[in-house]
Structure 1
Amino acid sequence: MSATFGFRDVDPREKPGLVRGVFDRVASRYDLMNDVMSAGVHRLWKDATAARLNPQPGETIIDCAGGTGDMARRFADLARRARDRRGGEDARILVVDYNAEMIAAGRARGLEPEIDWAVGDAQRLPLPDACANAYVISFGIRNVTDIPAALREARRVLKPGGRFLCLEFSRPPAPALARLYDAYSFKVIPFMGERIAGDRESYQYLVESIRRFPDQKTFQGMIEAAGFSRAGYTNFTGGVAALHHGWAA
């Protein structure tokens, strides 16, 4: 059995180190590159994801592959507003990321009382069963070595009725948009990575990893196979990204 690393098939034991190397190199400019590559549209996708999650006071939310914490801060802000309106305890948001450099970059932006940080593996979360009200993973699951294992782990840590959300790059169903997106991805994004972050290779991998990720329907089936009910998805920007969701039965 092999794992994917961009367009390469590699030994599954190699992939974590290869992915860690990519994010070690891009951590300091990760958020800047997201803005440049998407012309800021990724912020709209993330805002929509946070609104769909609808964080509430007192909830425990796992932000898996949470990197620099931009999603966690959105969750904390929404939960804080809800608490100020009607009372209750602070939400607890746990950012878990495999890459210590990404966690360090997030912590350097400032610490917030609702957010805790941990280095951990999406396939083996350092958490007990049924401990969270919600689990979110944004632009991270395609970097996992064993995606079905990560989905089963998400199901394990959710309480009954817990919400699962996964924001990830996907496949535009319209052929014209798909061709345009391919041209932009393979010609422009690695060039931007070289000029802005000084690292063409890492951004070439990121583009390739998107193309190796399952399409929307296939990934929905994987979510259902992991034990989630009412799985579905919403396309953003014509399917350039998709927000997948499910419920822990």
Structure 2
Amino acid sequence: MSETVSFGYEEVAAEEKAGKVGAIFSNVARKYDIMNDAMSAGMHRVWKDDFVRRVKPRAGEQILDMAGGTGDIAFRMEAKGAIVTVSDINQDMLDVGIERAMERGIDTLVWSRQNAEELSFPDRHFDAYTIAFGIRNVTHIDKALAEAHRVLKYGGRFFCLEFSTTQWPGFKEVYDAYSHKLVPKLGKMIAGDADSYRYLIESIRRFPPMPEFEGMIRAAGFKHTKVEPILGGLVAIHSGWKV
């Protein structure tokens, strides 16, 4: 029997997941940032600002922003003088990011279509690797983490911003009700697509808890790993170093 993996609350053949996820992001690419504002009441902007402050991008550094699609993280790091390669498996998401960069007059970013599990970059190439709200959509998270470790220089740092499960009593139940019942309706109203947003919420629920994901980062070879929960773990910043 072929290997199965989670696709929201479904189990699908591993070789099918990338295509299914790709179709979802192609569907939502043009409305992705509008929906992020609607779903998080604009808080995703604060989380991304905080995330980039943790990364501490410096002028001249080579940084790979994986699953960087629409450029939100890359624009913030480019403003600090970093040399950013924006990669995503989905060309529609990259096309939106390229258009946004042109509107901002930013021409220093490198755009590269990549599969996080099989990067084409050489070993020990980047000073930092970032991935924001993308790793839960990867078919084999362990392979993506191994690739992140491979392409980082010694002394390089890994940073991941991802949804998790809040531990705050009361808030968890309220958020679960909001996300499962209202987010698909927002998706239908704003993006004309309830099913894609239903998957995005389900994928959050299937993502490993914070301690388990930190263990996966360590298993990939990273040292000095750290988890910084936001809103009790609704969102978390994970980090590690290649030493």
The alignment's TM-score, normalised by the length of structure 2, stands at 0.96
Give 2:94's aligned residue. Answer: 103
Give 1:6's aligned residue. Answer: 8
What is the aligned counterpart of 2:64 among 62, 66, 76?
62
1:211 aligns with 2:205: yes
CA distance in 2, matches of 1:240, 1:77: 28
SS at match of 2:15: coil
Amino acid at match of 1:33: M
What's the CA shift for 1:114? Answer: 2.8
Give 1:220's aligned residue. Answer: 214
What is the aligned counterpart of 1:142 among 115, 136, 144?
136
CA contact (8 A) 2:28 2:191 kept: yes
CA distance in 1, matches of 2:173, 2:125: 43
Give 2:240's aligned residue. Answer: 246
Aligned residues, how many? 238
User: Deviation digits for residues 40-59 of structure 1, max 9, x if unmatched?
Assistant: 00001000011111111110
CA distance in 1, matches of 2:139, 2:15: 9
What's the CA shift for 1:92? Answer: 1.3
Provide structure 2 residue ranges, at least 5 long, that are not aligned to the other structure.
none
User: Deviation digits for residues 160-183 of structure 1, max 9, x if unmatched?
Assistant: 010100000001112312111100
Q: How does 1:47-196 map to 2 (within 5 A)?
A: 47-79=49-81, 91-111=82-102, 112-196=106-190
CA contact (8 A) 2:159 2:239 kept: yes
What's the CA shift for 1:105? Answer: 0.6
Provide structure 1 residue ranges, at least 5 long, that are not aligned to the other structure.
80-90
CA distance in 2, matches of 1:21, 1:59: 33
The alignment's TM-score, normalised by the length of structure 1, stands at 0.94
CA distance in 1, matches of 2:161, 2:153: 21
Give 1:82's aligned residue. Answer: none
CA distance in 1, matches of 2:172, 2:153: 38
CA distance in 2, matches of 1:248, 1:146: 20
